[in-house]
A and B are shown apart, each in its own frame.
Chain A
Amino acid sequence: MASTAPDPTTTTTVAAQAIDAVKVYGSGATEVRALDGVTVGFDTARFTAIMGPSGSGKSTLLHCVAGLDTLTSGRVLVGETDLGTLGDRDLTRLRRDRLGFVFQAFNLVPTLTALENITLPDALAGRKPDQEWLDQVIDTVGLRDRLGHRPSELSGGQQQRVAVARALANRPEIVFADEPTGNLDSRAGREILDFMGRAVRDLDQTIVMVTHDPVAAGYADRVIFLGDGRVVDEMHEPTAERVLDRLKQLGD
């Protein structure tokens, strides 16, 4: 297992990392250790998938690294920034300026058009979006002709594409995706994964994705397997079949 831990001296290539991350919910008899000493790094310009059975702590890990939740103990670094030292205001700014998010559902503000949703973080920061980059992102996800539509006028797949575009629009250090294809049919899901893959390969973006779908994980450069709040394995250059096999082994 030691081989999976990032070398702390090579942080330049690590976009974010968790060190001895522990997250405990409840106390006493109802205590649940969702994360039980996780140490893991996410490399820059790579597509990392986090997998594991329900209750393995994969979503909790994502939330904690993304600054949406706080650890009971241990540290999370985004770049050089220790999230544990940040208050709500700085965490919010960090999410707005340095991170991107794609959730399983309800990713878009229903009252805003697709374009307004994409540029929302910049708008919240009171910044003008980088037009050249924005065009690139919009073309990558193929949304040029849908920009004026409200979410209710878009299909589920289109909505997720808008969400991916929004996550990429402010050129974040990392994009966190929590089951981004969970609510989509397989074709729309493949499209989203394709876009995410291209964002990493063509646009040098860093993506961390939680999924329970081996097919989705097959699009990643690397898969980290969690079980009972610990990192139990990892796999580089995965395919859906290998991931499925590994999951079966882990399940035994």
Chain B
Amino acid sequence: MWTLTVKGLLAHKLRLAATGLAVVLGVAFMSGTMVVTDTIGRTFDDLFATVYDNTDAHVRSAESVEVGFGMTDRERIEAGVLDTVLAVEGVAHAEGLVEGYTQIVGADGEPVGDPGMGAPTFGINWPERGELNPFDLAEGRAPERAGEVAIDRGSARRGDLAVGDTTTAVTQAGVVPVTIVGIVTFGGADSPGGASFTAFTHDEAQRLLAEPGRYSYIDVIAEPGVSEEELRRRLVAALPGDLEVLTGSEIIAEEQDVMREGMAFFNTFLLTFALIALFVGAFIIHNTFSIIVAQRTREMALLRAVGASRRQVLLSVLGEALAMALGASAVGVAAGVAVAAGLRALLAGFGIDLPEGGIVLSAGTVAAAMTAGVAVTMVSAVLPARRASRVPPIAAMREVAVDTSSRSRLRIVVGLLVLAAGVLLLAAGLAAPDAATVGGGAAVTFIGVAALGPVIAGPVSRVIGAPLPRLRGITGALARENALRNPKRTAATASALMIGVGLVSFITIFGESAKASIDRILRDAFVGDLVIDSGSFGFGGLPTELAPRVEAVEGVAAAVSLRGGPVELAGETTFLAAADPVRLEQVMDLEVTAGDLSALADDGIAVSRQVADGEGWAVGDVVPARFARTGSQELRVAAIYERREAAGDRFISLAAHERHFEDRFDMVVMVAFEPGADRDAVRRAVEAVAADYPTATVQDLGQYVEAQAAQLDAILGLVTVLLALAVLIALLGITNTLALSVFERTRELGLLRAVGMTREQLRALVRWESLLIALLGTAMGLAVGLFFGWGLVRSLAGEGFTELVVPAGSLLVIVVVAAVAGVLAAVPPARRAARLDVLRAVTVE
């Protein structure tokens, strides 16, 4: 039987090649994603190992709050600890380091980096001891006096800065003039993971980044003969209990883990698209094998007639699938290396810069990608193989039987059940909320719709194809009939496209709804006149001196700053905003329904109605909170408000913020004008003040809303591009199905040519059929996308999703693109059909 398998493979190699391509693309995307992640992981592993090469111990505060993405907000320590450390026996050297937000301003006046959306931008002190200095000077020298900085080479390149240039740096203490005296690399990288570093002198760093006399951590080198463990023991014994000591190996491992955790999100994000691609591929593999098995019914029957067992036939078909799966997966893994480079370029295009490094193709990646490719292929081929094994020997004597299973009652029942299961899973996943369950629910929903596909393919194609006969006469009528003649095949082919179109239209609907909701929320809640935005979400932003300066502008009634930071509130880590509670109402309408914002003081918290109801809090209740800087605290619920979307779910007063947080930046400053002020003049005056702060963007409400929408658009754009792969694979499926159909209809097409169909008409016939399949898939996809969009927006109603927008224009673009793509997918099979030898076609036995 294996000989037969091999012969079968060779005989159908063209058809299998197209199917294999679907596997190759999915596997390549998956292995590409893993190669990118592995490569970055390795780069960072090496980086941290190099940077902390000489560090034997790392001393820091034990008080911290997890921020997410592996980041931690940690209290700084008193500088006096350094003396204690240096006095410990076995310590050769120790150095206090201070880290904090800094953004260097490029030659064009724009700050380098985007800590709100991308990698963080750090300021740090230049370490005195060479062994503890993570930087390698590439050009120039170390900063020696106030106003001098060394910056990383990546930032220098992005900001077009060189040694000797003067510019400014945005820090907590304000915008300071600096001179670049050195360009550094970091463990061999120009810019570690896109992060930017600005190194100041010791005193400047303390003054600008934190508070004088405080360090973020202390790095220690042991004397020869003192082990890391021994050093730690001694340090722990000498230091107070609110400090913790890590060995050099531990801090390397922790930094590596932190980076990996940060990357994990990224990895999952990309792998999701690889899985979608494989899922689409599964549809195509299933369809191709079904068609091939149907076309080989007589061959299978003959085998059975001459004595092959069912099992042998089953194994023969599965053997073909396995061989194809192995080959295609191997090619996919190899292609993944190329995809990795492409992914990196794509992400760079969307502003996500990844560090350079040698390509890492790990055994784990190869194994995972191969397994996925083979598993998807085999699972997809099982049903067709079973069908092949059930061909009765007598079929060898019969004409190929007509497949009538497309509209069976069983199919409708099973399809509806699967669909219902998918929708229930989706609902459960959204309610939890749990991304994996949502994804599973979506997949099951797609399968359910696909199972019902053959039932709806007929009626839907009839409607879509209704104008064809009038538009294109007999060619159009024939194309429509061809699309209708095998509803299972048409539906399966269209279903593959449905997935991509469904997800793209879902993303489009969701994005437009999100934008409309943001617009609505901001317009409802914002009663001020201008927004000065930093684009930051907590790390860095606008120096706090900006707001008072703006408020001093004539015609400005209030300039209200909004800050925030991480807190552990009632046991859960969350973001806690901060604002001046009284003046906040001058720029924002929060609809306070219980308590009073003016009672916030420095120990109160205001929460949204949603949070209050969810937690069962009432005004006057005391809530446990933990801050990195001040440890466990108690907050008193002072006010409950209804409009949660604008200021977030919870905030405290600025006074409380200053007590509990060490980093003080404004994310945004909201400005209200005096009644009757000359708006243009006041705005110009505010802009003049803001011009001193490179991270500040002055916008009116409309511009602010647009800027928020633009950020969303960038993310949606990236997602759409990544989904395009799923659409591309589906188009391969259309090409493949049509090629198989053309092959199957050789005689019929030959007859048409014999009685006078021109080549152009024949090409049009294939093209129109392809277009019909594409439009059917698009229609199914739009229906599913609409449903998903509706479901998600409705389930997020509590999160401020008040608007459900169905963007007809964008959806029409999707239809047009899918239609054009459908026509393009028909090019190879149409060409093949047109080249068909008329005589051979009509005389074939």
Interface residues of A (CB under 8 A from B): 59, 63, 68-69, 88-89, 92-93, 95-97, 101, 103, 106-112, 116, 120-121, 123-126, 152, 166
B839→A109 contact, CB < 8 A: no
Nearest CB in chain A to that of B483: its residue = A111
Residue of A nearest to B747 (CB): A106
Cα separation A108 to B402 with both chains bound (whole Å):
17
Q: What are 15 A-B contacts defined by CB distance under 8 Å?
A: A63-B839, A92-B756, A92-B758, A93-B758, A106-B748, A106-B842, A109-B478, A109-B752, A111-B481, A111-B482, A112-B481, A120-B752, A120-B755, A123-B474, A126-B473
Given the known A-B contacts A68-B838, A123-B474, A124-B474, are A110 and B759 also in contact in the complex, defined by CB atoms under 8 Å?
no
Contacts of A89 in B (CB 8 A): 758-759
Interface assignment of B460: CB less than 8 Å from any CB of chain A:
no
**In whole angstroms, what is the CA distance A101 to B753 when docked?**
11
Q: How far is the CA of A123 from the CA of B477 in the complex (A)?
A: 10
Do A123 and B754 touch across chains, with their CB atoms under 8 A apart? Answer: no
Q: Which of B481, B753, B754 has the most CB of A within 10 A?
A: B754
Query: Is B424 interfacial (CB-CB < 8 Å)?
Result: no
Q: How distant is B763 from chain A, measured CB to nearest CB, in Å?
A: 13
- In angstroms, Cα B469 to Cα A123, docked, is 11
Q: Which A residue's beta carbon lies closest to that of B481?
A: A111
Select one of A96, A103, A108, A123 contacting B842, CB under 8 A: A103
Within the complex, the shortest CB–CB distance from A204 to chain B, in Å, comes to 21
The 8 nearest A-B residue pairs measured at CB? A96-B756, A111-B481, A123-B474, A121-B756, A92-B758, A106-B747, A124-B756, A68-B839
B485 at the binding interface (Cβ < 8 Å): yes
Measured CB to CB, the closest approach of chain B to A236, in angstroms, equals 30
Q: Select from chain A the residue with minimum beta-carbon distance to B834.
A: A88
B757 near A124: Cβ-Cβ < 8 Å: yes
Q: What is the total number of residues of chain B having a CB less than 8 Å from a CB of chain A? A: 26
Q: Report how far A92 CA is from B757 CA in the complex, Å.
A: 7
Q: Are B756 and A97 in contact (CB under 8 A)?
A: yes
Chain B residue with minimal CB distance to A68? B839
Min CB gap B95→A, angstroms:
83
Q: CB distance A101 to B755 under 8 Å?
A: yes
B772 to chain A, nearest CB (A): 13
Residues 473-491 of B, flagged 1 when their CB comes within 8 A of A and 0 if not, give: 1110110011011000000
A123 with B748, Cβ < 8 A, contacts A88-B759, A92-B756, A96-B755 known: no
Interface centre among B482, B756, B838 (most CB of A within 10 A): B756
Is B416 part of the contact surface with A, judged by Cβ < 8 Å?
A: no
How far is A88 from B747 in the complex, measured between Cα atoms in Å? 18
B477 cross-chain contacts in A, Cβ below 8 A: 112, 116, 123
B759 and A120 within 8 A (CB): no
Give Cα A123–Cα B752 distance, bound, in whole angstroms: 11
A116 to B838 Cα, complex, angstroms: 21
Q: Provide the bound-state CA to CA distance between A191 and B747, in Å.
A: 25
Given A68-B842, A92-B757, A124-B756, 15 more contacts at CB 8 Å?
Answer: A59-B843, A69-B839, A89-B759, A92-B756, A101-B755, A103-B751, A103-B754, A110-B485, A110-B748, A111-B478, A120-B752, A120-B755, A123-B474, A124-B752, A124-B758
Complex Cα–Cα for A63 and B748 (A): 17
- A112 to B481: give the CA distance in the assembly, Å: 8
In whole Å, how far is B484's beta carbon from the nearest beta carbon of chain A? 8
Shortest C-beta distance, B310 to chain A (Å), equals 30
With A and B bound together, what is the CA distance between A95 and B757 in angstroms?
A: 9
Closest to A150 in B: B481
CB distance from B769 to the nearest CB of A (A): 11
In the complex, what residue of chain B is closest to A89 when comparing beta carbons? B758
| A250 vs B843: C-alpha distance when bound (angstroms) | 26
B753's partner among A59, A92, A111 (CB-CB below 8 A) is: A92
Interface residues of B, Cβ cutoff 8 Å to A:
402, 473-475, 477-478, 481-482, 484-485, 747-748, 751-759, 761, 838-839, 842-843
Most buried by B among A88, A89, A108, A109: A109
A146 to B758 CA separation, bound complex (whole angstroms): 28
Return chain A residues, CB-CB under 8 Å to B747. Answer: 106
The chain A residue sitting closest to B485, CB to CB, is A111
Whether A93 contacts B751 in the complex (CB less than 8 A), given A123-B474, A124-B761, comes out as: no
CA distance A107 to B752 in the complex (A): 9
Chain B contacts for A69, CB-based, 8 A = 839
Could you tell me the distance in whole angstroms from the C-beta of A209 to the nearest C-beta in chain B?
16
Q: How far is the CA of A195 from the CA of B479 in the complex (A)?
A: 32
When distances are taken between beta carbons in the complex, the residues of chain A under 8 Å from B754 are 68, 95, 101, 103
When distances are taken between beta carbons in the complex, the residues of chain B under 8 Å from A110 are 485, 748
CA distance A106 to B845 in the complex (A): 10
Contacts of B838 in A (CB 8 A): 68
B482 touches A120 (CB 8 A): no
Contact present for B752 and A93 (CB under 8 Å): no
A68, B837: Cα distance in complex, Å? 9
Rounded to whole angstroms, the CA-CA distance of A88 and B475 in the bound complex is 19
Q: A96-B756, A106-B842, A109-B751 are in contact. Are A123 and B473 (CB under 8 A)?
A: yes
Q: Which residues of B contact A124 (CB under 8 A)?
A: 474-475, 752, 755-758, 761
C-alpha gap A69/B843 in the complex (Å)? 12
Question: B759 — nearest CB in chain A belongs to which residue?
Answer: A88
B761: chain A residues within 8 A (beta carbon): 124
Q: A106-B747, A126-B473 are in contact. Are A95 and B755 (CB under 8 A)?
A: yes
A residues near B402, Cβ cutoff 8 Å: 152
B449 to chain A, nearest CB (A): 26
Q: A62 to nearest B CB, angstroms?
A: 11
A111-B481, A124-B474 given as contacts; is B756 within 8 A of A166 (CB)? no
CB distance from A24 to the nearest CB of B (A): 15
CB distance from A132 to the nearest CB of B (A): 21
Report the Cα distance A123→B748, complex, angstroms. 16
Cα-based distance from A233 to B509 in the complex (angstroms): 78
Residue on B with the closest CB to A95?
B756
Check A109–B756 contact: CB distance below 8 A.
no
- B842 CB contacts on chain A under 8 angstroms: 68, 103, 106
Q: Measured between C-beta atoms, what is the minimum distance from B799 to chain A in Å?
A: 52
Closest to A70 in B: B839
Docked pose: A63 CA to B840 CA in angstroms: 11
CB of B475 to closest CB in A, whole Å: 8
* In the complex, chain A residues whose CB is within 8 Å of the CB of B484: 111
CA distance A163 to B757 in the complex (A): 16
A77-B737 Cα distance, complex, nearest whole Å: 41
**A109: contacting residue among B748, B758, B843, CB under 8 A:** B748
Nearest residue, chain A, Cβ from B472: A126
**B474, B482, B484, B752: most-surrounded residue (chain A CB, <10 A):** B474
Which residues of chain B are within 8 angstroms of A103 by Cβ–Cβ distance?
Answer: 751, 754, 842
Chain A residues in 8 Å Cβ range of B478: 109, 111-112
Complex CA–CA separation, A116 to B759 (angstroms)? 20
What B residues does A109 contact at CB under 8 A? 478, 748, 751-752
Question: Across the interface, which residues of B come within 8 angstroms of A111, CB to CB?
Answer: 478, 481-482, 484-485
A102 to chain B: closest CB distance in Å? 10
Q: Could you tell me if A120 and B839 are in contact, using CB atoms closer than 8 angstroms? A: no
- Bound together, the chains give a CA A120 to CA B759 distance in angstroms of 16
User: Separation in Å of the A176 CB from the closest CB of chain B?
Assistant: 10
Q: In the bound complex, how far is the Cα of B24 from the Cα of A248, in angstroms?
A: 63
**Chain A residues within an 8 Å CB radius of B475:** 124
Contacts A68-B754, A93-B756, A125-B756; A120 near B474 (Cβ below 8 A): yes
Tell me the bound Cα distance from A97 to B757 in angstroms: 11
Residue of B nearest to A170 (CB): B756
Please name the residue on chain A nearest to B469 by beta carbon: A123
Which A residues are in CB contact (< 8 Å) with B755? 95-96, 101, 120-121, 124, 166
Bound state CA distance, A107 and B747, in angstroms? 9
For the complex, give the distance between the alpha carbons of A96 and B759 in Å.
13
- Give the shortest distance, in Å, between A166 (CB) and chain B (any CB): 7
Could you say which residues of chain B place their CB within 8 Å of the CB of A96?
A: 755-757
Q: CA of A63 to CA of B482 in the docked complex: distance in angstroms? A: 28
